[in-house]
Amino acid sequence: MKHNFGAGPCILPQEVFKEAAAAVLDFNGLSILEVSHRSADFVKVMEEARENVKKALNVPEGYTVLFLQGGASLGFLIAAYNLAGKHKRAAYINTGTWATKAVKEGANAGLEAIQIASSEDKGFNYIPDASEIPEDIDFLHYTSNNTIVGTQFKSIPETNVPLVCDMSSDIFSQPIDVSKFDLIYAGAQKNLGPAGATLYIVKDSILGKSSLHIPTYLDLAVHAKKDSMFNTPPVYSVFVSNLNLKHLLKNGGVEEMAKKNQAKADLLYNEIDNNPNFEGTTEVKDRSLMNVTFRLTDDSKKERFDQLWNDGNIVGLKGHRSVGGYRASMYNALELKSVEALVSIMKSL
């Protein structure tokens, strides 16, 4: 049994892997990999998955859930195209690599993409203040959790303008007030399911209202009208996401998950703060519960520490190349016992 601290694609519950494997061999007499997306059996899966997203996040009336493709990298562009309004100007909070890419695609869609706050001055190791939000913009965009640097917004920015959020790396880890957002999007490959699907939760009232001409696949109204089946969806990613959503709902939902994630983060951050061999790399108030970044205080211990965690069946602990050090990603399916195993190894250094 390996302890998978990888940043994503990441660990999912072992029960989900078992059900996911079984369906590759037999899903109502066929392999799930060979079923038509237009078959009654799969249409039911897609509808269940969309409904289970609504249940899990308590999505209010007036929103549509879609499973598309292309990851957040295409989502940056889709967000800008669909939320473009009369100002043709959008505001971004820049908290790292992914937020920076979002700004770029805002401009690529044809908008004036302005950064109203950025933490680039300190290598994105904190969440910048964004209390001054202009009114003459079409939307405000932010990244709720920053996988690479290990920071996370602790509250939703207060604004009257339409709010868009890339929640790729913390969606389903805690309750969120979906009613505050016009668009939420997220690559599936953290807390939702296997790589290959991208989730969109879009407020119906914005559909078809863009001030830009949108190519067909990038138009959320097109996908909404076709119940997320405009073209062949990523069948297996949606199927496994639905298994995982059912598992989440059966196990206390996002409320229970938030408690478990807090407990895991408390345990690890406590060790980082109290063990003289380690130090955190981000501002304490902005620490991510999903991606814990830290480094050795004495680099000469690197070889020994790396040996210890490798011997301890821990995988995926290497920090992102742009930050260095270590990153322990602790998504929903990572058990507390895996964090305990890591902490025990840290103590033994």
Tokens 């908290």, residue? 95
Q: Is 236 in the site for a second copy (CB under 8 A)?
A: yes
Number of residues that bind a second copy (CB under 8 A): 60
Backbone φ and ψ of 81, nearest 5°: -60, -45
Q: What is the DSSP letter of 206?
A: G
CB 261 within 8 A of CB 173: yes
The alpha carbon of residue 171 and the mean position of all alpha carbons in its chain are separated, in whole angstroms, by: 5
Q: Is 309 a catalytic residue?
A: no
38 labeled part of a ligand binding site: yes
Helix axes 235-250, 14-25, angle to 10 degrees: 140
Minimum CB separation of residue 139 from a second copy in Å reads 17
Q: Is 98 a catalytic residue?
A: yes
Give the one residue of 17, 133, 159, 221 binding a second copy; rule: CB under 8 A: 17
The 10 Å Cβ neighbour count of residue 111 is 24
Q: Is 216 in the site for a second copy (CB under 8 A)?
A: yes
* Amino acid found at 346: M
Give the one residue of 221, 229, 315, 349 binding a second copy; rule: CB under 8 A: 315
Q: Is 310 in the site for a second copy (CB under 8 A)?
A: no
Q: Is 337 in the site for a second copy (CB under 8 A)?
A: no
Stretch that binds a second copy, among 65-73, 137-145, 254-262, 336-344 (CB under 8 A): 65-73
Give the one residue of 56, 71, 191, 280 binding a second copy; rule: CB under 8 A: 71
Q: Which is nearer to a second copy, 69 or 115 (CB)?
A: 69
Tokens 């917004």, residue? 153
Query: CA 49, 43, 14, 287 torsion: positive or negative?
Result: negative
From the list 138, 182, 190, 286, the catalytic residue is 190
Q: Which is nearer to a second copy, 4 or 125 (CB)?
A: 4
Secondary structure E strands in 30-73: 63-68
Q: Is 101 in the site for a second copy (CB under 8 A)?
A: yes
Q: Is 299 a catalytic residue?
A: no
Q: Which is nearer to a second copy, 108 or 179 (CB)?
A: 108
Backbone φ and ψ of 277, nearest 5°: -75, -15
The CA–CA distances, whole Å, from 46 to 36, 227, 253, 330, 344 equal: 12, 9, 20, 28, 42
From the list 138, 166, 170, 219, the catalytic residue is 166
Q: Is 8 in the site for a second copy (CB under 8 A)?
A: yes
For a second copy, the binding residues in 193-212 under the rule CB under 8 A are 193-197
CB under 8 A, 24+ apart: contacts of 251-256? 253/55, 253/56, 254/56, 254/57, 254/172, 254/173, 254/174, 254/175, 254/176, 255/175
Q: Which is nearer to a second copy, 100 or 115 (CB)?
A: 100
Q: Is 263 in the site for a second copy (CB under 8 A)?
A: no
Q: Is 187 in the site for a second copy (CB under 8 A)?
A: yes
Q: Is 86 in the site for a second copy (CB under 8 A)?
A: no
Q: How far apart are CA 319 and CA 107, in angstroms?
A: 30
Minimum CB separation of residue 35 from a second copy in Å reads 6
Question: Which residues in this chain contact a second copy in the complex, by CB under 8 A?
Answer: 2, 4, 6-12, 17-18, 20-22, 24-25, 29-31, 33-37, 39, 69-74, 77, 101, 104-105, 108-109, 187, 189, 193-197, 213, 215-218, 230-237, 240, 315-316
Catalytic residues: 98, 166, 190
